[in-house]
């Protein structure tokens, strides 16, 4: 039987994503419910991978809006793309360092480590890099 | 005989005199012509919308929201596409609705688009398509006949869709198919591009009008007919102010592109429906003895085609007129020896295949 | 204030056939037209207590479900028309009533952008209103129907209309759509359930509609303050529970189930944020309808917003 076929497209339904941030930081990151596993950005397709080096500068063109009700995930609305993301509080924290700032990964790590009381710089650098990679894949972040 | 939507578009202040039934008809006609957001914009412009009942205003506002959302998406997607083209050394040249919107032309006010149309030199199509594919813009065409149709006989490649964003991109290398008459030299467009934003280009103002007319008068389906004519009217009122030489070179440019017949039709019907102010004698300049001979027939056909598909505006014999124009457009697009088998194949596919696609060589509507 | 059931049967039938039946549905007026017997019968059963709009009022949505032409009638096909044009392919006439209801849903889903519209049921008891977003197969409509038969007022089965920057729901009460097994579940649940025509072999299986305006205030247009959002999930093999759900998760899921969240851009984000900030969110996993009813009846009121 032919399925119902709409001649009109309704409207642009922009992306709403769950991002599973692989961070192991002081604040425990709870994974979102499994029923929405399909929407997780866990693997980046090749064409989205960028080479992350610690000396590259990061920026956010125009900071969007956050909904942060003191849970370990934060809702972020990206005003440029119209996408909405559920990100870890750590990712939101990293992003907020880039408000009006161009910072390299190294500068970010140096800024963050005293604030969260982490002295394991190599591990923190890896976590920050991973978060930055995810944010690039979501078109939130630019690298220059 | 004018119809309600036409009257109000030209004179928005008349809307305050309409009762609820007529307002309902007005909105209904506007929706069927894909002009609701345009109407809303016109009413807003003349501060008429605030005088209408709140129950009406919410529908107008709703349409404007859709337009504004599209505009934002277009800005974002346009920049993405520009970067991809830049990576292969090509400029982003926008056509039609996307061009009007990003260039912030009056023709773009309240405009709704179904996809983004761009122009690329023919010899670069392969490289451009590859770069777009690698950036997540892929053809959704599974059906090989439709795919071959596009590549062999059309002036555009199969539509590309961005998997992440759902936006559709139409990559053109010309304004008419290679099988059509006249055979347009697309290189001429590239000589006169205008940069509307850093790295984003459109056709020149004259070429934009000529392209709009060509697209409209070679088209087989007219769901967007009135809207396209409105685009032309808006451009013809706006461009002379931007370029004092606009009118002077328009006809000769159309002749250079061999598209003066389309321009003739465009000017004729824009003036007929929207009272577009035109310099004295310009229609006669674009016309030929053939166009004069055909004029009564064309008037009959197009006066029906440009009315919204709505019982209150439809003239008698509209279905006949639309059928004739549909056949005409196909004859313009390809010679008979190609057309016969093509139409037969399409009819077969329509009856027996469920390719699930919204394109069958024709664009589907959007709100 | 005239209700549909006040019309004489012949008058009703003729007005419906001619498309002269403007009906008030929540904040909107639909003008409905149909010449198909199943639709005439179904509309009379399910919309009897709806108000007929006054002549001269602005009609928001002109809808029709008709055979369009002799050939269509012979082939047993009908079309849904909006503004006298058909946005959808034609359908078997036996499914006409279901398609009228789906079409009427579509009108709101696509055009009602003055509100943040969630794909959700909404019910209320006293001054407490609850939103139940509708993941497909989750049992939202079944639960909504059961609540409606259990003293709750059904604000909507399909569209929770949220006034932006408030936590207010605008009522839009229309029949509840029930599918497949849910139909028998509700029939056994209460003999007071009133059903419209049954449409078989639709793309969702067997579909029917239950009269939803059973409450004295069913057609009241005053907005109601939402107190909670409950995400129902029917699961035969899982332990039943009502548990709090995080606000950020709920935001995302509600946005995913919204018709126009993305369209509204920042306004959509702010509207959803205001809503979520001011309500409590829960997951409800159930396989026994009575468990679900009790859970909703006894929802904790932990709300601490404005």
Task: Tell me whether residue C36 is in a domain.
Answer: yes
pLDDT in tens, C151-177: 999 999 999 999 999 999 999 999 999
- pLDDT, position C202: 81
Same domain, C134 and C230: yes
pTM of the model: 0.87
**Is pLDDT of B149 > 80?**
no
Same domain, C50 and C96: yes
Do residues C164 and C115 lie in contact, with contact meaning Cβ atoms separated by under 8 Å? Answer: yes
Which of C114, C117, C60, C261 has the alpha carbon at shortest distance from B31? C60
Residues of C in contact with A91 (CB under 8 A): none
- Name the E strands within chain B: 92-95, 116-119, 137-139, 160-162, 168-172, 194-197, 200-202
Number of separate domains in chain C: 2
Q: Write the residue in C88, C91, C109 that is nearest to A10 by C-beta.
A: C109
C242: Cβ contacts below 8 Å, ≥ 6 apart: C230, C282, C283, C284, C295, C299
| Cα B163 to Cα A137: distance, rounded to the nearest angstrom | 13
Structure tokens, B217: 């008068």
Q: Where are the domains of chain A?
A: 16-22+50-143
Same domain, C270 and C227: yes
**CA angle, corner A42, sides to A40 and A45, nearest 5?**
110
Residue in B with minimal Cα distance to C31: B24
Of B25-34, B97-106, B180-189, C46-55, the poorest mean pLDDT is in B180-189
Number of separate domains in chain B: 1
The share of chain A scoring above pLDDT 70, in percent, equals 61
Other CB atoms within a 10 A radius of the CB of residue C238 amount to 11
Residues of B in contact with A80 (CB under 8 A): 76
Same domain, C49 and C131: no
pLDDT in tens, B150-177: 676 678 888 999 988 889 999 999 888 7
- pLDDT, position A21: 38
Which of C255, C171, C268 has the alpha carbon at shortest distance from C221? C171
Same domain, C129 and C245: yes
Would the CB atoms of B66 and C112 count as touching at under 8 Å?
Answer: no
Of B247-256, B311-320, C271-280, the poorest mean pLDDT is in B311-320
Same domain, C122 and C61: no
| Cα B322 to Cα B304: distance, rounded to the nearest angstrom | 8
Same domain, C150 and C44: no
- Domain extent, residue C68, equals 4-111
Residues of C in contact with B367 (CB under 8 A): 110
| Cα B325 to Cα B329: distance, rounded to the nearest angstrom | 6
Residue B188 binned pLDDT confidence (cut-offs 50, 70, 90): very high
- Examine the fold and report which residue of C86, C111, C136 is the final residue of a domain before the chain moves on: C111
Task: Tell me whether residue B297 is in a domain.
Answer: yes
Same domain, C94 and C144: no
Residues of A in contact with B365 (CB under 8 A): 7-8
- Name the E strands within chain C: 21-25, 28-34, 61-66, 77-82, 91-92, 116-125, 128-133, 153-156, 159-162, 168-170, 176-179, 199-202, 205-210, 224-234, 241-244, 280-286
Mutate to test the interface with C, among A13, A68, A71 (most CBs of C within 10 A): A13
Cα of B236 to nearest chain A Cα, Å:
31
Task: Tell me whether residue B362 is in a domain.
Answer: no
Would the CB atoms of A86 and C248 count as touching at under 8 Å?
Answer: yes
Residues 214-253 of C with CB under 8 A from A: 246-249, 251-253
What's C138's domain CATH number? Answer: 3.40.50
Residues written for chain A: 144
| Cα C27 to Cα C222: distance, rounded to the nearest angstrom | 10
- Are β-strands C176-179 and C153-156 bridged in parallel, bridged antiparallel, or unpaired? unpaired
- Examine the fold and report which residue of C95, C111, C127 is the final residue of a domain before the chain moves on: C111
Of B140-144, B151-155, C23-27, C228-232, the poorest mean pLDDT is in B140-144
Q: Write the residue in C203, C251, C260 that is nearest to A67 by C-beta.
A: C251
Q: Alpha-carbon dihedral of residues B225, B229, B232, B237, nearest 10 degrees?
A: -160
Question: Average pLDDT in the A26-30 region?
Answer: 28
Which of C264, C256, C288 has the alpha carbon at shortest distance from C119? C256
| Cα B160 to Cα C96: distance, rounded to the nearest angstrom | 36
- Domain extent, residue B191, equals 4-351
Q: Write the residue in C201, C263, C269 that is nearest to A84 by C-beta.
A: C269
Interface partners of C (3+ CB pairs, < 8 Å)? A, B
The share of chain B scoring above pLDDT 90, in percent, equals 62
More confident of the two residues C122 and B329: C122
Which of C290, C282, C273 has the alpha carbon at shortest distance from C231? C282
State which H helix or E strand residue C295 sits in.
Answer: helix C289-297
Task: Tell me whether residue C181 is in a domain.
Answer: no
Question: Average pLDDT in the B193-222 region?
Answer: 93
Burial call C61-75: b when 16+ CB within 10 Å, e when fewer: bbbbbbbbeeeeeee
Of A47-56, B238-247, C92-101, the poorest mean pLDDT is in A47-56
Would the CB atoms of A7 and B364 count as touching at under 8 Å?
Answer: yes
Cα of C264 to nearest chain B Cα, Å:
7
Would the CB atoms of C89 and A10 count as touching at under 8 Å?
Answer: no
| Cα B136 to Cα B163: distance, rounded to the nearest angstrom | 6
- pLDDT, position A47: 42
| Cα A33 to Cα C21: distance, rounded to the nearest angstrom | 46
Residues of A in contact with C82 (CB under 8 A): none
Residues of B in contact with A45 (CB under 8 A): 136
Of A2-16, A78-92, C86-100, C130-144, the poorest mean pLDDT is in A2-16
Same domain, C261 and C160: yes
- Examine the fold and report which residue of C111, C131, C166 is the final residue of a domain before the chain moves on: C111
Residues of A in contact with B74 (CB under 8 A): none
**Is pLDDT of B184 > 60?**
yes
User: Which CATH topology does A16-22+50-143 take?
Assistant: Outer Surface Protein A; domain 3 (3.90.930)
| Residue C274, helix vs strand vs coil | helix
């Amino acid at each position: 039987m032919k399925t119902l076929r709409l001649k009109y497209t309704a409207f642009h339904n922009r992306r709403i994503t769950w991002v599973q941030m692989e961070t192991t930081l002081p604040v425990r990151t709870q994974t979102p419910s499994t029923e929405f596993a399909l929407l997780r950005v866990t693997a980046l397709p090749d064409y989205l991978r960028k080479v992350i080096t610690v000396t590259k500068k990061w920026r956010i063109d125009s900071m969007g809006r956050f909904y942060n009700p003191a849970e370990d995930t934060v809702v972020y609305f990206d005003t440029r793309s119209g996408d909405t993301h559920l990100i870890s509080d750590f990712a939101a924290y990293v992003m907020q360092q880039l408000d009006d700032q161009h910072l390299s990964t190294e500068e970010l790590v140096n800024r963050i480590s005293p604030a969260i009381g982490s002295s394991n710089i190599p591990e923190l650098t890896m976590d920050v890099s991973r978060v930055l990679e995810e944010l690039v894949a979501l078109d939130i972040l630019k690298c220059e | 005989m004018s119809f309600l939507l036409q009257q109000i578009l030209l004179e928005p202040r008349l809307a305050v005199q309409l009762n609820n039934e007529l307002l309902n008809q007005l909105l209904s006609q506007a929706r069927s012509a894909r002009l609701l957001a345009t109407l809303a914009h016109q009413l807003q412009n003349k501060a008429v919308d605030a005088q209408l009942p709140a129950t009406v205003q919410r529908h107008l506002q709703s349409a404007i929201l859709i337009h504004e959302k599209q505009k934002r998406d277009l800005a974002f997607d346009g920049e993405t596409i520009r970067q991809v083209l830049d990576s292969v050394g090509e400029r982003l040249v926008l056509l039609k609705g996307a061009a009007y919107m990003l260039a912030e032309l009056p023709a773009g006010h309240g405009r709704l688009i179904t996809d983004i149309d761009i122009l690329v030199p023919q010899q670069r199509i392969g490289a451009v398509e590859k770069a777009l594919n690698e950036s997540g813009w892929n053809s959704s065409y599974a059906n090989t006949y439709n795919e071959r149709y596009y590549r062999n006989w059309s002036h555009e490649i199969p539509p590309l869709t961005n998997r992440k964003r759902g936006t559709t991109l139409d990559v053109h290398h010309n304004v008419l198919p290679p099988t059509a008459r006249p055979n347009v030299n697309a290189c001429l467009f590239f000589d006169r591009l205008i940069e509307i934003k850093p790295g984003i280009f459109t056709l020149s103002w004259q070429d934009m009008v000529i392209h709009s007319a060509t697209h409209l008068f070679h088209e087989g389906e007219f769901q967007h007919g009135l809207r396209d004519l409105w685009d032309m009217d808006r451009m013809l009122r706006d461009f002379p102010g931007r370029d004092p030489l606009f009118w002077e070179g328009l006809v000769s440019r159309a002749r250079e592109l061999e598209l003066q017949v389309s321009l003739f039709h465009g000017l004729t019907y824009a003036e007929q429906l929207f009272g577009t102010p035109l310099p004295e004698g310009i229609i006669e300049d674009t016309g030929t003895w053939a166009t004069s001979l055909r004029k009564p027939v064309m008037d009959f056909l197009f006066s029906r085609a440009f009315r919204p598909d709505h019982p209150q505006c439809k003239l008698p014999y509209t279905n006949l007129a639309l059928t004739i124009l549909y056949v005409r457009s196909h004859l313009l697009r390809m010679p008979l020896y190609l057309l016969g088998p093509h139409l037969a194949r399409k009819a077969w596919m329509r009856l027996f295949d469920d390719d699930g696609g919204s394109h069958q060589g024709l664009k589907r509507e959007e709100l | 204030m005239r209700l549909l059931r006040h019309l004489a049967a012949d008058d009703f039938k003729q007005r419906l056939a001619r498309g002269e039946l403007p009906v008030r549905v929540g904040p909107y007026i639909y003008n409905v037209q149909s010449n198909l017997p199943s639709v005439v019968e179904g509309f009379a059963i399910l919309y009897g207590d709806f108000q007929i709009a006054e002549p001269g009022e602005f009609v928001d949505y002109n809808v029709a479900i008709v055979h369009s032409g002799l050939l269509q009638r012979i082939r047993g096909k009908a079309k849904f028309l909006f503004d006298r044009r058909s946005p959808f392919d034609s359908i078997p006439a036996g499914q006409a009533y279901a398609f009228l209801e789906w079409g009427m849903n579509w009108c709101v889903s696509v055009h009602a952008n003055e509100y943040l519209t969630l794909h959700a049921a909404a019910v209320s008891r006293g001054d407490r209103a609850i939103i139940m977003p509708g993941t497909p197969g989750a049992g939202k409509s079944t639960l909504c129907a059961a609540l409606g038969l259990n003293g709750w007022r059904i604000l909507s089965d399909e569209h929770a209309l949220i006034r932006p920057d408030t936590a207010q729901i605008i009522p839009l009460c229309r029949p509840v759509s029930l599918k497949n097994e849910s139909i028998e579940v509700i029939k056994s649940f209460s003999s007071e359930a009133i059903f419209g025509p049954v449409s078989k072999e639709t793309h969702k299986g067997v579909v029917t509609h239950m009269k939803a305006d059973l409450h004295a205030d069913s057609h009241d247009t005053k907005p109601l303050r939402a107190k909670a959002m409950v995400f129902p999930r029917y699961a035969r093999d899982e332990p039943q529970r009502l548990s709090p759900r995080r606000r950020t998760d709920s935001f995302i899921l509600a946005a995913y189930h919204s018709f126009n969240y993305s369209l509204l851009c920042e306004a959509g984000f702010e509207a959803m944020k205001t809503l979520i900030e001011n309500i409590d969110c829960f997951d409800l996993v159930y396989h026994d309808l009575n468990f679900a009813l009790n859970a909703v009846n006894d929802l904790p009121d932990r709300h601490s917003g404005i």
